[in-house]
Structure 1
Amino acid sequence: MTQLQSAKVSRIRQLSPIWVVPIAAVLIGIWMLYNHYQQQGALLTLLTADAEGIVAGKTQIKSRSVDVGQVVSVELSTDLKQVIIKARMKPSIAPLLNKDSQFWVVKPQVGRGGITGLNTLLSGVYIELQPGESKQQQLQHKLLDTPPVAPADAPGIRVRLIAADSGGLAVGDPVLYRGYDVGTVEYSEFDLASRRTEYQLYIREPFDVLVSENVRFWLSSGFSLDLSAEGLQVDVGSATTLLSGGVSFDLMQGWPAGAMIRDGTEFQLFPNKQSVQEGLYSEFVEYLLFFDESVRGLKAGAPVEYRGVRVGTVASVPFFFSIDKPFEVSLQQGIPVLIRVEAGRLYENLSLQQLRKELEIAVQRGMHAALKTGNLLTGALYIDLDINQDNTIDIEQQALQAQQLALSQSAGYPMLPTARSGLSNIEQKVLMALEKINNLPVEQLLEQSDQTMQSADSLLQNATKMVTQLEALVSNPQVQQLPAQLQLSLQQLQQMLAGLSPGSAAYDSLNGNLQTLDQVLRELQPVLQTLNQQSNALVFEANIAADPQPKRAKQ
């Protein structure tokens, strides 16, 4: 029988080569996991009110048509007030995810600039990334409702406009300089605190040098029609403004350009170019007028002229803000109207102190205001200033002007005398004429007219008697025989003249006698010439003058 021996076990102190395989697999897995997270890039969060068209795992994020990320989840917030979109960006895009970056959804849209985003009809919507210039990284942004007009780093300048009325200006409307498109309206916002609208304009390079501190901005409507006291004004813009409107800017005539501005400079937006001109006259002297006639057709902004030259503007019609008992004032003193005489309309470098002094002198010389019709079609009125050398007024007018002066001084304004316009003067004269006619002694005139009619009736009766007597005279037989006797006398006269006609004996005898007389006169002519030359030729023999002899010419 054999004897079993126990095996001798000894521990191997070296690792088996078989462990190389799992260790390598673990290392490869760790490297692949690290590489996977390194290739994923940053996780971007976008907030929006509506995620229409955005699909997790499908919607791409692009920048200049290059894929830079993909949406991985679309979820509602806990309060259900907004949508949270998470997107995985490529690692190389991390520097573009800064504080100024902007994101918006690109989809088919029809706007004032035409139809955009047609390429998304087949591929689906996508999110566009527009990077900013900030160095601070930010991974949470708000998704814009509309795409920005220009990139944040686009060369040019941006200005802010403030307007009391929006006037229909919208994002995307053009910015014009003398009719040429130089920029775009980027966004508009209504401020509830100030109750005004704010706009941001982008003016691209190289037109940004046109924007200086003295330029003025106004709304450019495609077509404007103004029928006022100054006449009919028609303004037709370009084809772009006819369809969509816009905003224009320019320097006013005679103004210097001024210094260049910085980004974000604030300007006022005027409703039209005419209001810009009106806003240039910031220095003025105000006067209070009282009219005892209708002011229908006179509106704020109407011109104030001096003999056809505009010198001011009507500020308020009627002006009741600083006057107590306005209705009583209108009945007794007249309707108050506040006007402004603007220094800039007269001549340059005219101070308000000098303007007040010149106006006081003009009032002392008889300057007054009157309502005039500026447009017969609309009935628009304007105020005309003139100097009347004849300052004579009656006692009632003096008392009325004293009351008006006291009322204007209590309101804090100087008073300017008024006079009725031409039509009102004519109306007043017609009323005075009618009043004079009413005061005429009509009854006395009627009695005198009755007496005159009786006298005329008596005269007509006498004339009838005279006609009757004439008819009796004409019907008298002796008067009727007169034409026959006149006819007989005419026949006898004709017979007598027929005896003296050519061919009759009397005519031939008279013609022969005249010829004989002519012959005798011819024969007496030499005798008369001789007696004319020598009066004593009938007593003494007349000397016969020798015939004249021609003289010989001198040698």
Structure 2
Amino acid sequence: MTQQQSAQVRRIRQWSPIWVVPIAAVLIGLWMLYNHYQQQGAMLTLLTANAEGIVAGKTQIKSRSVDVGQVVSVELSDDLTQVIIKARMKPAITSLLNADSQFWVVKPQIGRGGVTGLNTLLSGVYIELQPGDSAQQQLQHQLLDTPPIAPADAPGVRVILSTADSGGLAAGDPVLYRGYEVGTVEMREFDLSTRRTQYQLYIREPFDVLISENVRFWRSSGFSFDLSAEGLQVDVGSATTLLSGGVSFDLMQGWPAGNAVKDGTEFQLFPNKQSIQDGLYSEFVEYLLFFDESVRGLKAGAPVEYRGVRVGTVASVPFFFAIDKPFEVSLQQGIPVLIRIEAGRLYENLSLPQLREELKKAINGGMHAALKTGNLLTGALYIDLDINPEPVIDAEQQSLQQQRLALSDSAGYPTLPTARSGLSNIEQKVLLALDKINNLPVEQLLVQSEKTLQSTDALMQNAQRMVAQLDALVANPQMQQLPGQLQQSLQELQRMLAGVSPGSAAYDKLNGNLQTLDQVLRELQPVLQTLNQQSNALVFAADAPADPQPKRAKQ
């Protein structure tokens, strides 16, 4: 057999130039990878509750319509409560990612400002970046649901409004100064600790100089309609507030402007401008009133007037806070009502001790309160104060006033006498009259009336029978001949009277006899006179009368 020999292997120690190519490729790759990461910006993290319309690798991040980044991933958080969006930003934009930067999704929306985001119907939604001015870099932000009203670095001033009413305003509503739009409502939130709603307002430059410490803010509803005891009040605002509402502010008449305010200054938001005027009267004297009539239509805020001049306000109707057994009090003493006599409504520089002293004198002089109707359409009532120097008070009313005085003293308030209004007096008199009518013996009258009607019926029946008998009597032929006989008798009487009428023979003869008789009587008159003076003149001749003797004149 042929013997095999093993080959001798010798290791070549020379370097081969072929390795230059892969080494160069590796170095170029590493340099390209380093350059790629060097040209990439920071990784941005956005948190949101809903990632509707956002697609990884497609949705762009823009600032002023310029692409500054792109979404690379959209994932749910570990606890599944929110969405985590990661986006790669361009290197030049990294310095703009600070604590004041804001991000929001731009998509088609219809709001109070009109229709926005129509360009995203074809290109898809995108994320808008609004850079901030903070020096602190921050790569994690909350994705806003709605775009911010104004940039955080926008020139102007931001103030906070606080109110107990949670309705009426929303983000985007205008802020008005005497009808001119000077700002916007930026934010609305509810504070659980204070149970009040807070609004953040942005007043843009140069109108921010109008905001001073003495300005007052009120809600502008566009159209307000108030039908109260003071009458009908209609307030129509601008077209903007008529559709969406808003906030108005101004200085009250006669107030100084005061100092300028800083960002974050808090003001109170009033429901309307009238409520601001009512809130100016902070010094007042309270009185407790008791009304023994219906207080329906009397509400808190109703005016208290003295002969047509407003001097106060109704504070509470009814007032049961400091009174024990309120139902028993309402039945016996009347409905308690708390009123305020406001010093500022009378005249300036009137202190509360002076007001109390003057009111005490007025009450001692007969001042009392009464309910009056302020509006016939709504039935709204107000309280009218008047003075009656000589009130008519019986023993029962005096005892009732003493009970009311003791009750008001126990409640910690002075009392003011009350009287019934004119309409209530009329109503009471009408009720008394109805009670008297109700107490009348109506049943006896009805029985007596029934008997009277029966008697009248019997009388009418007798009258009918009498009429029937008269009809029969008239229908008798003999009664029908009676008029002819009466006419004949009258004719005979006429002929008889015609025989003795003037011009007839009997009348002339009778007239001559009467004249002869008259002449005889004249002739017998002297004889009768003589016999009257001397009864024996028929036998003895009568003496001739003596001649008259003149009388001697008196000296």
Normalization by structure 1: what TM-score? Answer: 0.75
Specify the alignment match of 2:158 in structure 1.
158
SS in 2 for 1:420: coil
1:341 partner SS:
strand
8 Å CA contact 1:222, 1:245 repeated in 2: yes
1:302 matched to 2:308? The reply is: no
Per the alignment, residue 321 of structure 1 pairs with 321
Distance 2:237 2:392 in 1: 53
Cα shift readout 1:260-317 (whole Å, capped 9, x = no counterpart): 1110111111122222222222221110000011111111111111111111111111
- Which amino acid in the other structure matches residue 230 of structure 2? E
Residues 1:27 and 1:414: Cα distance change in structure 2 (over 3 Å): same
8 Å Cα contact 1:103/1:127 also seen in 2: yes
Pair 20,390 (structure 1): closer, same or farther in 2 beyond 3 Å: same
| Per-residue deviation, residues 455-498 of structure 1 (Å, max 9, x unmatched) | xxxxxxxxxxxxxxxxxxx99959x97xx99xx99xxxxxxxxx
Contact 1:220 1:272 in 2 (8 A): yes
2:147 aligned partner: 147
Displacement of 1:31: 2.6
Residue 348 of structure 1: CA displacement?
2.1
SS of alignment partner, residue 242 of structure 1: helix
Q: Percent identity?
A: 84
Q: Counterpart of 1:495?
A: none
Question: What do the CA deviations read for 1:39-66 (whole angstroms, capped 9, x no partner)?
Answer: 1110000001111111111111111111
Q: How does 1:201-350 map to 2 (within 5 A)?
A: 201-350=201-350
Q: Does 1:427 align with 2:436?
A: no
| Amino acid aligned to 2:413 | Y
Q: Could you tell me how far apart the structure 1 residues matched to 2:315 and 2:162 are? A: 23
When normalised by structure 2's length, the TM-score is 0.75
**Distance in 2, Cα, partners of 1:344 & 1:477:** 105
One-letter amino acid matched to 1:149: I
In the alignment, residue 312 of structure 1 is paired with which amino acid? Answer: G
- The answer to whether structure 1 residue 40 and structure 2 residue 40 are counterparts is yes
**Unaligned ranges ≥5, structure 2:** 1-9, 453-485, 503-555
Deviation of 1:20 after TM superposition, in Å, equals 5.7
CA distance in 1, matches of 2:204, 2:231: 38
Corresponding position of 2:199: 199
Give the CA deviation at 1:26: 4.0
Cα deviation digits, residues 42-97 of structure 1 (max 9, x gap): 00000011111111111111111111111111111111111110000111111110
Is this contact kept in 2: 1:167–1:219, CA < 8 A? no
Please state if 1:359 is matched with 2:359: yes
Aligned to 1:464: none
State the 1:182 CA deviation: 0.9
Question: What secondary structure is seen at the aligned counterpart in 1 of 2:181?
Answer: strand
User: What SS does the corresponding residue of 1:33 show, helix, strand or coil?
Assistant: helix
Q: Secondary structure at the match of 1:95?
A: helix
Deviation at 1:432, TM superposition (A): 5.6
2:57 alignment partner AA: G
SS in 2 for 1:154: coil
Q: Distance in 1 between matches of 2:167 and 2:396?
A: 50
Q: Deviations over 1:308-366 (max 9, x none)?
A: 11111111111111111111111111110001111121222222222212211211111
For 1:34-113, what aligned pairs fall within 5 Å after superposition?
A: 34-113=34-113
What SS does the aligned partner of 1:118 have?
coil
Amino acid at match of 2:91: P
1: CA distance between counterparts of 2:127 and 2:437? Answer: 90
Q: Which residue of 1 aligns with 2:513?
A: none
Q: Tell me, in whole angstroms, the C-alpha distance in 2 between the residues paired with 1:407 and 1:10.
A: 123
Distance 1:192 1:26, change over 3 A: same
Secondary structure, counterpart of 2:420 in structure 1: coil
Question: Residues 349 and 27 (structure 1 numbering): CA distance in 2 closer, same or farther, change over 3 Å?
Answer: farther
Which amino acid is 2:30 matched to?
A: I
* RMSD over equivalenced CA pairs, Å: 3.1
Counterpart mapping for 1:460-471 below 5 A: none
User: Which letter maps to 2:130?
Assistant: Q
2:286 counterpart letter in structure 1: E
CA deviation profile, 1:6-26 (whole Å, cap 9, x unmatched): xx99987xx887766555444
What is the CA distance between 1:191 and its match in structure 2?
2.1
CA distance in 1, matches of 2:199, 2:291: 43
Give the Cα–Cα distance (whole angstroms) in 2 for the partners of residues 46 and 271 of structure 1. 39
Letter in 1 for 2:317: V
CA contact (8 A) 1:220 1:248 kept: yes
Alignment partners' CA distance in 2, 1:10 and 1:160: 86
The structural deviation recorded for 1:108 is: 0.3
Q: CA deviation at 1:168?
A: 2.7
CA distance in 2 between counterparts of 1:284 and 1:397 reads 29
What are the equivalent positions in structure 2 for 1:25-36 lying under 5 Å apart? 25-36=25-36
What SS does the corresponding residue of 1:208 show, helix, strand or coil? helix
Residue 401 in structure 1 maps to residue 414 in structure 2: no
Report if the CA contact (8 A) 1:100-1:132 is conserved.
yes
1:64 counterpart letter in structure 2:
R
SS, match of residue 137 in structure 1: coil
1:76-121 residue CA offsets vs partner (Å, 9 max, x unmatched): 1111111110000111111110011110000000111110000111
Moved more, 117-126 or 431-440: 431-440
Deviation at 1:28, TM superposition (A): 3.1
Corresponding position: 1:389 with 2:389: yes
What is the Cα deviation at residue 250 of structure 1? 1.3
Distance 1:440 1:10, change over 3 A: closer
Distance 2:167 2:250 in 1: 19
Once residues 202 and 67 of structure 2 are traced to their aligned partners in structure 1, the CA distance between those partners, rounded to angstroms, is: 28
Q: What corresponds to 2:476 in structure 1?
A: none
The one-letter code matched in structure 1 to 2:275 is S
Please give the secondary structure, in 1, of the residue aligned with 2:33: helix
Residues 1:36 and 1:418: Cα distance change in structure 2 (over 3 Å): same
Unaligned 5+ runs, structure 1: 1-7, 451-473, 490-555
Q: Where does residue 376 of structure 1 map in the other structure?
A: 376
Return the alpha-carbon distance in structure 1 between the equivalents of residues 16 and 339 of structure 2. 109
Return the offset for 1:439. Answer: 9.6
- Supply the AA of the counterpart residue of 1:386: D
Counterpart AA for 1:353: P
Alpha-carbon separation, structure 2, partners of 1:279 and 1:230: 17
- Counterpart contact for 1:108–1:120, Cα < 8 Å: yes
Partner of 2:472: none
Question: How many pairs were matched up?
Answer: 450
- Distance change (3 Å), C-alpha of 1:395 and 1:9: closer
